[in-house]
Amino acid sequence: MSFYITLAIVIALIALVIVIFNTLVSLRNRHQNAFAQIEVQLKRRYDLIPNLVETAKAYLKHEQETLEAVISARNQALAGLSAASNDPSNATAIGKLGGAESALTGALGRLNVVMEAYPELKANENMMQVSEELTATENRVAFARQGFNDAVMAYNEYKQKFPAVMLAASFGHGKDAALLEFDDSNEIQAAPKVQF
């Protein structure tokens, strides 16, 4: 009789270990997939920015420095996204992406201020279309970022709770995943607005 009790306990422990392992894998995959959604939206955003700059160039001949700053910030953000895409669990890469995104948001904000002085540019059909697409993309980025951060929180919470905490490191889940945060806490709450 004690043999069967011991066997039942061993089977229950094995089942618990399997459930913990599978849950950790599932939650890690969810947060990596959530990052992939951010990646899609950020790439779309980065692809729109050169269109915005090209449309503005004809009107903003005296504002070349501002346009170059936007392109430079876009290129840095694209490089940050590339590094973070290789390992969405890497806190350093996610932090660099957040910093690059903050710099890009600031450059776009400065461009918006400059554009206010050019009413004919604000009325340009191409500019209106690109700015609408950029604003819609900003909203998608904010939504995808929230989904990513929620998935990261679920993953980190699960692996820090008992009994998963006892096994997570041995299953290759030792490091917490990093949230995608921005340097300026005000920029987390609202997507950047670019209006022309």
Distance separating alpha carbons of residues 196 and 194, to the nearest angstrom: 7
pLDDT for 141-151, tens place per residue?
Answer: 888 888 888 98
pTM strictly above 0.75:
no
- What's the one-letter identity of residue 34? A
Most trustworthy range by pLDDT among 8-17, 98-107, 161-170, 172-181: 8-17
pLDDT for 87: 82
Task: Give the chain's domains with CATH numbers.
Answer: 2-189 (1.20.1440.20)
Using CB atoms within 10 Å of the CB of residue 136, give its burial: 0 to 12 exposed, 13 to 18 middle, 19+ buried: middle
Q: pLDDT by residue (tens digit) across 86-133?
A: 888 888 888 888 889 888 888 888 888 877 777 777 666 777 777 788
Structure confidence at residue 18 as a pLDDT band (50, 70, 90): very high
